[in-house]
Amino acid sequence: MKVLGIISEYNPFHYGHLYHLEKSKKITGCNFSIAVMSGSFVQRGEPSFIDKWTKTKIAIDSGIDLVLELPSIFSVQSAELFAYGGVKLLDSLNIVDYISFGSELGELEILKFIAEIFAREPYYFKLMLKKYLDEGNSYSVSRSLALESFLKKDGRNKCNYTNILKSPNNILAIEYLKALYILNSDIKPFTIKRVGSDYKETLFNNKYSSATSIRNKILKGDLKEIKNYLPEATYYHINQYLNEYDSFNTMENYSHILLYLLRTIDKNSLSKIMDIEDGLENRLINYGFKYNNITQIINNTITKRYPKTRIQRILIHLLMGINKDIFLELKNTYPQYIRVLGMNNKGMNILNKIKQNTNISIINKFADYKKENNLQLHKMIYYDKKSTDLYFLGLQKEKSRISNLDYLKSPYIKNSRTNF
């Protein structure tokens, strides 16, 4: 058994993801695959476009064997913490041979070189990082400039590292590699060069369009218009999702809830929310009173130091009640469990192998977590349930605002006779 691990959002699963999965299996020779997937909210600080069970069905029907939920406290974090959460979970299974991820560069050794510098943080690099942060730059920009300065001083600046660090998939790839380095993991990394549209591309233009452009296209028109540009399982299950819930989820759906929170929270409490620093709580509260929708608040809070995705993540942390102390406590004891969202027959074999190789609790039926005499497990899974309830609370149709679905939904099991 050779097992491939993938950290994903599949928001939604598109032809680029299918290309990555199939090529990863072929190159690594892995005949089993696990996806650690974010659930109700995603890394850029937004609700998932479709719910986690629909994403799971698409992934399993497209060739993934086992889908595990990335705990919600990691799913809406910086690239560094998102990657750490995914890699740590895969590593703790003790059965994963390879991890594969996309990157714009597609060259593993250069990405590993950068990752090890970021992990070791040599003295001069740290000195330059502080300098650029003090000048008001965002963390990502400061780190890129610090790397450039460090390599110039070291006489090794033969590659345009600044451009490499401008691409989101390169950044995530570096963070995956950094996490493997820090954890001293035996998992072998592999990167596949990204094909098609850029991650941030908003215009829908070809078979390999970005998830962003696909979401925009679906929101603006009829799903049938892009049927030929979506994998069969994606098109089928998104239609099923629409039949059941009648609306997709967006950040704007939380305007009223977030306005209430910003207008009633005190500055001291807001300052403790994850990712808040340097008086940003004052800015958010002030704009919370000045503007009446969340898009205006976000757009006016953005600065050179605080990009849009960071502001959005802060607002999701506020929505979920995740402060810095809670996150640190749970990170230090992570992982306590794995949550199964779906599997096929091969996925069942993987799960049996995991049971033989790790003592981590496996949650198939959600209610079973209550049997676990583990306070840290209970604390972390509380946020998974909360994020699910918040996800469905955000849907526009009253009939779709269902609670306690974690208890009501079972993992998706696809056997050899299942068709979609």
Q: In this structure, what DSSP letter does residue 398 have? A: G
Q: Are 46 and 78 in contact (CB under 8 A)?
A: no
Residue by residue, what is the 3-state secondary structure of 159-211?
CCHHHHCCCHHHHHHHHHHHHHHHHCCCCEEEEEECCCCCCCCCCCCCCCCCH
Please report, as a single letter, which amino acid is at residue 365: K
Sheet strands (E) in 51-158: 66-70, 98-103
Handedness of CA 265, 383, 240, 100 (dihedral sign): positive
Instruction: Report the distance separating Cα 351 and Cα 339, nearest Å.
Output: 11
Query: pLDDT (tens digit, 0 to 9) for every residue of the chain, 420 residues total?
Result: 999 999 999 999 999 999 999 999 999 999 999 999 999 999 999 999 999 999 999 999 999 999 999 999 999 999 999 999 999 999 999 999 999 999 999 999 999 999 999 999 999 999 999 999 999 898 989 999 999 899 887 766 667 777 899 899 999 999 999 999 999 999 999 999 987 655 555 555 667 778 888 998 888 877 888 888 899 999 999 999 999 999 999 999 999 999 999 999 999 999 999 999 889 999 999 999 999 999 999 999 999 889 999 999 999 999 999 999 999 999 999 999 999 999 999 999 999 999 999 999 999 999 999 999 999 999 999 999 999 999 999 998 888 999 999 999 999 999 865 565
Other CB atoms within 10 Å distance of the CB of residue 22: 13
Instruction: Report the distance separating Cα 257 and Cα 82, nearest Å.
Output: 25
Domains and CATH numbers, the chain: 3-104+172-196+208-249+329-413 (3.40.50.620), 108-166 (no CATH)
> In the structure encoding, which two tokens stand for residue 331, read together?
């990170």
> In the structure encoding, which two tokens stand for residue 167, read together?
């691409």
Peptide bond between residue 335 and the one before it cis (omega within 30 degrees of 0)? yes
Tell me the binding residues: 7-20, 102, 169, 194
Instruction: Report the distance separating Cα 130 and Cα 146, nearest Å.
Output: 9
CA 159 to chain centre: 29
Adjacent-strand bridge partners of 98: 4, 188
Q: What are phi and psi of 270, to 5 degrees?
A: -65, -35
Tell me the binding residues for ATP: 7-20, 102, 169, 194
> In the structure encoding, which two tokens stand for residue 401, read together?
């605002």
